[in-house]
Chains A and B, each alone.
Chain A
Amino acid sequence: MAQIDTGGDNGKGKSHQKKMSIHVDFTPMVDMNMLLITFFMLCTTMIKSQTLQISLPTNEKVEKQEQNKVKQSEAITVILDSELDDNGTPVKNFVYYYEGMPNMAVENGRLAENKMQEIEFMPNDVNGAPQGIRKIFQERNEQVVKKINELKTKWKNNEFDKNDERNDSIYQKLAKEVRNDSTLKRPVVIIKATPNASYESLVTALDEMQINSISRYQIDRISHTDSIMMMELKGVSYGLDDLTAKK
């Protein structure tokens, strides 16, 4: 296919300089390149995964006195649960929460007061206002969120330093100080996931901690009281024995 026009060889004598037009057909070359590109496109990952770092306490038994109890007024418990289909795959995620300690007073065989409420993970609305559980977190963490937002605007306008990198590191340092500032009113979030809860909701919950600048949170096992409150909320019947069984 390559067409190298030799200009005709009529045997007019050697002294005549051959005129060659050097048109090379690149079609096969393009074909081959396209194949290679397709190969590389299919075999590569362009997006590198991100990671979310968490640290959990060790499993070692901690002395009772050393365990720092969470102040009632600061605690928010978030419970994650999912509905499973026949194959055991989560199909619908549920989020419940309650503030402070659960009230386990019994009245006529039911809980006198159920503090647990159903809520959802929701993105900000069109105006950028928080919704769902994010709204609760932002209200409870108002002081920190306000300060962080102030820092953020400064960071966006490069007010800390003209240099982008230095601006970034100063912002990160200040933001960390604000998040860990014990003089501010900060909530403690306890994330509890039922065995059925999907991994997605766990990550979303951890993500909300980051979005709402909550520095104190923990992942815990679901307790007996939590499951009773969940049953009460869902309207599932339970025996009075369940209430008194483990306390």
Chain B
Amino acid sequence: MGKVKIKRKSTLIDMTAMSDVTVLLLTFFMLTSTFLQKEPVTVLTPSSVSEIKVPTANLITVLVAPEGNVFISLAGDKDSTYSSENMRAELLKNVVAEYNRLHPNNAINLTNSEVATFSKTNMFGVKLSELKGWLDLPQEKRDEYLDPSKNPNAGIPIDMNQDLSKPNEFQIWMRAIYNSNNANIISTIKRGNGIAIKADKSTTYSKIQVVMDNLQTMKMNKFSLMTALKSEDE
């Protein structure tokens, strides 16, 4: 009786092909991706049949949280003079100047490092009186501060105000963006694709209406609503 010989096979698998595939996939993801921008609240936008894409440059996104807190994010021009960061720094200066004009008693003075921090922030929504303190916080604390579930007072103060001589803070911000020297953002706002309202499906209309009403008051009455795509039969 001869012993059954168990063939010893090497368990090495050639991984070259696998590696090729993964590198290809990696290249694909790296080229097609745009990074998720950090937002204080994650919202699920309603769907529509509209196929107009959101522009990537010269766009103001007004995020309305389901609780009603309002945040603004500003994307600048492709041109480096009006890049997002430069635009934000300029915007902050204009807003602070306007706020100090309206409230000479509690004027804000920002340091250069605070302006630099702001220009790196994608989405913001703080009371102007608390802005300086917010910019001095470390990154995590700043994010926490914007989260409506942790801080119900997060967001830019907004109310139904039709008197532009006494603007609310949302109007100060929006007007300052409009008055920046970037001609491209003005033209996109006029065309109606410069301002996008982003809100969750289940947000009540009363909260959206406040934002719409403010935009109407500022004569920015052409804007877009962010939606997800669905087919016409749905």
Contacts and interface: CB of A to CB of B under 8 A. Distances in A.
Interface of A: 3, 23-27, 29-30, 33-34, 36-37, 40-41, 43-59, 80, 82, 84, 88-90, 123-124, 128, 193-200, 202-204, 206-207, 210-211, 219
9 contacts: A30-B18, A46-B33, A50-B48, A50-B52, A52-B48, A52-B50, A199-B208, A207-B49, A210-B48
Contacts of B54: 48-51
Contact of B225 (A36, A48, A203): A203
Contacts of B206: 195-196
Nearest to A34: B22
Contacts of B222: 53-56
Nearest to A32: B22
Nearest to B204: A196
Contacts of A90: 202, 204
Contacts of B219: 58
B226 A50 contact: yes
B184 interface: no
Contacts of B221: 55-58
A49 B45 contact: yes
A53 B50 contact: yes
Contacts of B199: 199
Given A49-B198, A56-B222, 18 more contacts: A3-B12, A23-B14, A24-B16, A25-B12, A29-B19, A37-B26, A40-B29, A51-B53, A51-B54, A52-B52, A53-B50, A55-B221, A59-B213, A89-B66, A90-B202, A124-B233, A196-B205, A210-B50
Contacts of B14: 23, 26
Contacts of B4: none
B204 A195 contact: yes
Contact of A199 (B15, B46, B233): B46
A131 B1 CA distance: 81
Interface string B197-215: 0111111111011001101
A26 B15 contact: yes
A83 to B, nearest CB: 11
Interface string B47-87: 11111111000000000001000000000000000000000
Contact of B223 (A54, A128, A206, A219): A54
A52 B51 CA distance: 8
B204 A26 contact: no
Interface string B23-36: 10110011011111
Given A25-B15, A40-B30, A211-B232, A54 B224 contact: yes
Contacts of A82: 204
A206 B48 contact: yes
Nearest to A25: B15
A197 to B, nearest CB: 4
A195 B68 CA distance: 13
B228 interface: yes
Contacts of A55: 192, 221-223
B36 A43 contact: yes
Nearest to B44: A200
B224 A51 contact: yes
B217 interface: yes
Contacts of B35: 43-45
B119 interface: no
A128 B25 contact: no
Given A29-B15, A37-B22, A54 B225 contact: yes
B180 interface: no
B204 A53 contact: no
A43 B12 CA distance: 33
Nearest to B30: A40
Nearest to B213: A59
Chain B CB within 10 A, most for which of A26, A43, A45, A204: A26
B233 A50 contact: no
Contact of A202 (B33, B66, B208): B208
Contact of A40 (B26, B45, B162, B226): B26
B193 interface: yes
Chain B CB within 10 A, most for which of A3, A59, A128, A193: A59
B234 interface: yes
A26 B18 contact: yes
Contact of A30 (B19, B193, B196): B19
A197 B205 contact: yes
Contacts of B171: none
A27 to B, nearest CB: 5
